[in-house]
Amino acid sequence: MLIVVQRVKNSSVEIDGKLISKIEHGLNVLVGICEGDQREDAELLGDKIVNLRCFEDDQGKMNLSILDKRGSILSIPQFTLCADCTKGRRPSFNNAAHPTEAKELYNYFNEFIEQHDVQLETGRFGAYMEVNIGNDGPVTFVLDSKNMTP
């Protein structure tokens, strides 16, 4: 599983010109489900995200998590994170999980986040979305479940 976490002042998703999700002050999370990803990957990254100390404390150090800040998460499915761009000029998406499996794991990831008492908004799986990201910092992290330990 590949995830891009961005600290935001605000973020929103529109589909066909209609606002479907919006958060203020929190994390925008782009979620790529790759071939072979399992529930353990979703749990590992979900736990990392809710506990990631990426918000500043009173001394200006990144010591506070989304739980400490009582912020929100906007979770966006993004299969293009699994693209292989090593050969040629056109990305290959063979590394992305099959849509049926990816949707199931994406939903599980979101349920896992919600179990941690975090306000969660989501994009829509399989839809063309316009995502607005008001970066804060900017502070951005790339997380790969295959390169992490619990």
| Residue 149 annotated among the catalytic residues of the structure | no
Give the whole-angstrom CA distance, residue 112 versus residue 38. 13
Which residue among 78, 109, 112, 122 is the active-site one?
78
Give the whole-angstrom CA distance, residue 12 versus residue 33. 21
CB atoms within 10 A of CB 15: 14
| Residue 93 annotated among the catalytic residues of the structure | no
Candidates 34, 142, 17; CA nearest to 98 is 34
35: tokens are 């071939």
Give the whole-angstrom CA distance, residue 49 versus residue 26. 11
| Residue 79 annotated among the catalytic residues of the structure | yes
Which residue among 55, 79, 109, 112 is the active-site one?
79
Per-residue exposure over 37-57, b if at least 16 CB sit within 10 Å of its own CB, e if not: beeebbbbbbebbbebebbbe
List the catalytic residues.
78-80
